[in-house]
Structure 1
Amino acid sequence: MTVMSTLMARQFGLPPAETTDVRVQRDLRVPMPDGVDLLADRYSPRGRDRAPLVLARSPYGRRGVWGMLFGRLLAERGFQAVVQSCRGTFGSGGTFDPFGDERADGLATVAWLRGQDFYPGSFATAGPSYLGFTQWAIAGVAGAEHRGMATQVTTAALHHMIYAGGSMSWATMTAWMQDMERQQGSFSLLRRIGGRKRLGRALRTLPLTEADRVASGHRVEYFQQWLAHPGIDDAYWQPRQFADGVAAVDTPVSMVGGWHDFMLPWQLRDYAAMRDAGNPPQLTIGPWQHADEHSIRGWMADLFPFLGAVLTGSERRAAPVRIFVTGAEEWREDAQWPPAGASALWYLHPGGLLATAPPVESEPDRHPYDPADPTPSVGGPVEPAARPRVDNRELEARADVLVYTSELLGEPLEVIGVPSVELFVTSTAADVDVFARICDVAPDGTSINISDALCRVRPGHEGPVGFELWPVAHRFAAGHRLRLQVSGGAFPRYPRNLPGTTGSGESSGFAASERQIHHDPARPSVLRLPIPDGGSELG
């Protein structure tokens, strides 16, 4: 046991260590079919060479925090762990091509494990984010010996996350690209810290194809490929997309997510696919971001009981689903997600009113959209350095943001599930973005964002614009108000919508446009809220 492992175990509330004597084997060479070797470190409790085995495959290194969380801390609690660096990272051979090689490399690594003296006959996989994606890459095809997947803040549907709503998760993916390009080599931490200013410039860069050079100092081939291949049906995505196979996975899966994590909607779609196929995962969702301290505590609280259950036969937790309800500030347990319930319809009305009564004859509301002064992103599922829920009043005061607010709620209103909107939108531009956001308005006027999403509407679209917002579990208190924002973007979370924009971000210029939001009986724009049984659906 080291000082660091002791401190981290205490910080994350881990179960007591079974041993302080851990053997670490560094830089084990794992051969791939194409002749490349990937490097791995093995952590094992000394004297237990065939302890239950956990595999973690990471592009972020196998030492430091990753070796501690998914190596040493596991070994101190009776497991052996192999932490491998993905292709092209931290000494592993080949070229890092995000998401593209993980199935072949993962299966080759499993084959190598089977040939080792320490292999106990079965294994589990573990890890968050990209480490979770490497698990989905081999899910269902690694054999019956794959006994469990401990996944956190991840999804099998990477394309849908990268191209959220038909636009691109611009700030998230550009920041990730920059971090990946700066994480290796001398003074990598200083270079990553110094890169924040460059990132700001990169997010504002046009065309988009120049952003990688601004952020990292050089062309990044995989970033260029993302921009050149936005469509899910493009051949580029076929070896990088495993969502279609999720329903067939019969391996036990644990999912830990956060309400403010940028992967949550697609993680819950993975959950739904397995649930509907009769193999519902264990699910935990807390009030966390992608990888903040609270999120990591949630991962680790779930990790050891789950691995013990699938590898050693210890008892699984009683409640399959455990979620934190914001506003109520309490944990709830249930048999499934979302809980049983119904939808409540809240209609947009003239004068900025949001109400359960159907709309009346009225003129549409109008708002401008100017890519030279784009509607900014405020709060939301962002990087851990920023606050996910903030006061939106300054944003709502802008001319390019429409606001619809309910009367005072006479009783608490619980919303648990996936809200959605159906908005009748017309525009002077053929290609538009529609951003919708739910806020909780306190008696003092503070307007806190709760759930949102963006939808890119392509030329030729007819009828209402319908799309799902962020999954949510929130209680609106009596005396508060429910609010819906509608605008034309959230920059730089999503890129600016420019007239004539191609996938590479080339554009004919910064032309402003006007959008109309209709709310009359023939074109009723509506917010749909998932209300659990026993929750109020009236204001």
Structure 2
Amino acid sequence: MTTFRQRLTRVMDGRSRKGAELGPYAVEIEKDLRVPMDDGIELLADLYRPIGADGSLPTIVIRGPYGRSGSLGGAARVLAYEGFTVLFVSSRGTWGSPGVFQPQVDEQRDGIATHRWTRAQPWFTGRLATFGESYMGYTQWAVAGKMQRDEPENAPEAYVLQITMADFGAITWNNGAFALRNSLGWTRMMDRMDRGGLALLGMLFPDPKLEKAFDVLPLSAGDSAAIGRQISWYQDWVRHEDLGDEYWTKQSHTGSVPDVTAPVFMLTGWYDIFTPWQLRTYRQLVEAGNAPFLTIGPWGHISSGKAAPAHRDSVAFLKSVFADEPWDRPAPVRAFQTGTDVWHDLPEWPPPAVTSQSWLLGAEGTVGQNAVPPGSTRYTYDPDEPTPAVGGPSLLPDTDPVDNAEHEKRSDVVTFRSSALSTPLELAGEPVAHIRVRSSAPSFDVFVRITDVGPDGRSMTVCDGVRRIGSVGTRATDPDADADGFREVSLPLWPTFHHFAAGHRLGIQISSGAHPRYARNPGTGEAAFDAVSTIVAQQEVAHGGLQGSRIDLPVWSR
């Protein structure tokens, strides 16, 4: 007999997943189990058990630092409604688990200890899977390859990895540019979670202190400005600007991705903060012979629209692996094409018949496939009045494409437009920009965005990317300058699956920043931890001829 509260909770769980059909089981919850770690710490966990289930489905482990109740508890409950036993463990130093929370640092050893312990429990159903999104996906990557290689008898037998990646350093310092909005915003959020109570409500409203903190120099003072004190991990992130530092390499699990041989399901969105890296780990698995199932939708990191399809696909995947239930999925990859708003079933990502086409930037703001005479375009970048971010992937609720028309009127943004397309143009993959540029500053950023320019003049974001030059973290890999001071800066843009309709134009936007999505570049080349001085930079982009700039587009010819 279910209680009124249980029935109400089930209704709310269904509504949060846009009416997705939930499983038939009632759920019992055992709270605050103690899970011993190798150093004697006992992490707290909640156990969700489906009442009356026959135990034929696997036990699922979820691990993360965001608590075990609310919407996250809902993720565990909806799996238990389907017949899965679910263990939800709080990372050390969070939500009652003792120890000190150091993001990413302890997740591998704690995950391995958790999986060993889980398999020894009387309620363990005999097979093990892991599940989760964002940080709860990273905790899966932290153990996946290592356990499958070193102790396969204890390793998970399937993985559900949603909007996540295996190396958080790569997004923190994205091609040398510090992801300020995400890093400081997340730090602020975790501090409020740690304090609990009414502080959680603050995450739902604008935070003037945070907005002001985005403009503080040096970057290492941002946490004090936003929160009122230093936060150890934020200080570490800013201090370790070079991704080759041991601080980052010991947290990266990209190298062990090919060791994963168990079945994998991935889900991401075109506007998620992790998309480039998640799709690269997908390719690693494909090339290692373990092609995952993959769903890519029109979602950002916290888009509500992904909840229902994520639930349906995750459950279908797990039941197909562990219960041999048929999954009515016609192809391994399901991807949403923007521009047409149509889902496509594909054998892999990128799909077959994708070829690279070079589109050349030309004089007077043109872009096309034909050769153009050489020339250059100049603009000024002032870090004291930094080029603002307009849209783009973030931890904010709304990351849908935005109109850049007003933004492109700025003097520190240069734009290029193709002629109206006579036939549709479809992109499927990761565009790569090759921008020949010189700067009067020792260090500078190159930010490139592709837009879809409609007949009405709107210039809607398709995808973008950034690359820093002349910084502590990039000097070892910076391209050399030629005799005239120009460097060819190559940068991958966000993956995309976009249809440009006939009559539309391909737009290319170049600037030297997107603040505070990426922290402004002061221009001095000093370590970001200490840099307070700024330099106004005169930038020059070369186009045309052999010395020009281009965009290599992944064109889908189906």
* Alignment TM-score > 0.5, same fold: yes
CA 1:11–1:66 in structure 2 vs 1: closer, same or farther (change >3 Å)? Answer: closer
Q: Which residue number in structure 2 is paired with residue 83 of structure 1?
A: 88
Which digits, 9 at most, give the CA deviation of each residue in 1:316-367, with x for residues without a partner? 4331111000001100011110012211111011010111101213x31101
Q: Which runs of 5+ in 2 are unaligned?
A: 1-5, 481-486
* 1:371 partnered with 2:383: yes
Which digits, 9 at most, give the CA deviation of each residue in 1:260-298, with x for residues without a partner? 001000001100111111111111100000021012233
Instruction: Work out the CA distance in 2 between the residues paired with 1:95 and 1:130.
Output: 17
Runs of 4+ off more than 6 Å: none
Q: Which residue number in structure 1 is paired with residue 331 of structure 2?
A: 319
* 1:165 partnered with 2:189: no
Q: Which residue number in structure 1 is paired with residue 479 of structure 2?
A: 461
| Structure 1 residue corresponding to 2:24, chosen from 9, 18, 30 | 18
Q: Which runs of 5+ in 1 are unaligned?
A: 535-539
Give yes or no for contact 1:147–1:310 (8 Å, CA) kept in 2.
no
| Offset at residue 213 of structure 1 (A) | 1.2
Q: Which residue number in structure 2 is paired with residue 131 of structure 1?
A: 136
Q: Which residue number in structure 2 is paired with residue 405 of structure 1?
A: 417
Q: Which amino acid aligns with 2:192?
A: R
Give yes or no for contact 2:437–2:489 (8 Å, CA) kept in 1.
yes
Q: Which amino acid aligns with 1:214?
A: A
Give yes or no for contact 2:300–2:399 (8 Å, CA) kept in 1.
no
Q: Which amino acid aligns with 1:64?
A: G
Give yes or no for contact 1:282–1:321 (8 Å, CA) kept in 2.
yes
Instruction: Work out the CA distance in 2 between the residues paired with 1:78 and 1:173.
Output: 37
CA 1:286–1:247 in structure 2 vs 1: closer, same or farther (change >3 Å)? Answer: same
| Offset at residue 217 of structure 1 (A) | 1.9
Q: Which amino acid aligns with 1:204?
A: D
* 1:427 partnered with 2:443: no
Q: Which moved more, 1:183-192 or 1:261-270?
A: 183-192
Instruction: Work out the CA distance in 1 between the residues paired with 2:178 and 2:462.
Output: 21
* 1:481 partnered with 2:487: no
CA 1:328–1:240 in structure 2 vs 1: closer, same or farther (change >3 Å)? Answer: same
| Offset at residue 398 of structure 1 (A) | 0.5
* 1:263 partnered with 2:274: yes
Q: Which residue number in structure 1 is paired with residue 359 of structure 2?
A: 346
Instruction: Work out the CA distance in 1 between the residues paired with 2:24 and 2:172.
Output: 41
Q: Residue 375 of structure 1 aligns to a residue in which SS?
A: coil
CA 1:508–1:205 in structure 2 vs 1: closer, same or farther (change >3 Å)? Answer: closer
Q: Which amino acid aligns with 2:161?
A: T
* 1:337 partnered with 2:343: no
| Offset at residue 507 of structure 1 (A) | 2.7
Instruction: Work out the CA distance in 2 between the residues paired with 1:114 and 1:485.
Output: 53
TM score, norm. by length of structure 2: 0.92
| Offset at residue 426 of structure 1 (A) | 0.8
Instruction: Work out the CA distance in 2 between the residues paired with 1:413 and 1:313.
Output: 40
Which digits, 9 at most, give the CA deviation of each residue in 1:410-446, with x for residues without a partner? 1111111111111110111121100000000110101
| Offset at residue 49 of structure 1 (A) | 7.4
Give yes or no for contact 2:272–2:300 (8 Å, CA) kept in 1.
yes
Q: Residue 516 of structure 1 aligns to a residue in which SS?
A: strand
* 1:7 partnered with 2:12: yes
* 1:151 partnered with 2:169: no
* 1:233 partnered with 2:244: yes
| Offset at residue 390 of structure 1 (A) | 1.0
Give yes or no for contact 2:439–2:538 (8 Å, CA) kept in 1.
yes
| Structure 2 residue corresponding to 1:27, chosen from 7, 26, 32 | 32
Q: Which residue number in structure 2 is paired with residue 471 of structure 1?
A: 495
Figure out how many residues of one structure are paired with residues of the other and give that number. Answer: 531
Instruction: Work out the CA distance in 1 between the residues paired with 2:60 and 2:211.
Output: 39
Q: Which residue number in structure 2 is paired with residue 276 of structure 1?
A: 287
TM score, norm. by length of structure 1: 0.95
Instruction: Work out the CA distance in 1 between the residues paired with 2:134 and 2:379.
Output: 37
| Offset at residue 138 of structure 1 (A) | 0.9
| Structure 2 residue corresponding to 1:415, chosen from 424, 427, 441 | 427
Q: Which moved more, 1:329-338 or 1:45-54?
A: 45-54
Instruction: Work out the CA distance in 2 between the residues paired with 1:515 and 1:492.
Output: 20
Q: Which residue number in structure 1 is paired with residue 449 of structure 2?
A: 437
Q: Which residue number in structure 2 is paired with residue 537 of structure 1?
A: none
* 1:357 partnered with 2:357: no
Aligned pairs (5 A) from 1:480-519? 480-507=504-531, 509-519=533-543
Give yes or no for contact 2:169–2:252 (8 Å, CA) kept in 1.
yes
Give the share of equivalent positions with the same residue, in percent: 37
Which digits, 9 at most, give the CA deviation of each residue in 1:121-156, with x for residues without a partner? 211000100000000011033325511111100000
Which digits, 9 at most, give the CA deviation of each residue in 1:47-75, with x for residues without a partner? 44745211100200011111111x21111
* 1:218 partnered with 2:229: yes
Q: Which moved more, 1:234-243 or 1:193-202?
A: 193-202
CA 1:171–1:233 in structure 2 vs 1: closer, same or farther (change >3 Å)? Answer: same
Q: Which residue number in structure 2 is paired with residue 309 of structure 1?
A: 320
Which digits, 9 at most, give the CA deviation of each residue in 1:491-529, with x for residues without a partner? 111111113243344335232111111113131210111
Aligned pairs (5 A) from 1:160-199? 160-184=170-194, 185-193=196-204, 196-199=207-210
Instruction: Work out the CA distance in 1 between the residues paired with 2:54 and 2:219.
Output: 51
Give yes or no for contact 2:137–2:161 (8 Å, CA) kept in 1.
yes
Give yes or no for contact 2:363–2:543 (8 Å, CA) kept in 1.
yes
* 1:38 partnered with 2:56: no
Instruction: Work out the CA distance in 2 between the residues paired with 1:194 and 1:342.
Output: 45
Q: Residue 406 of structure 2 aligns to a residue in which SS?
A: helix
| Offset at residue 195 of structure 1 (A) | 6.5
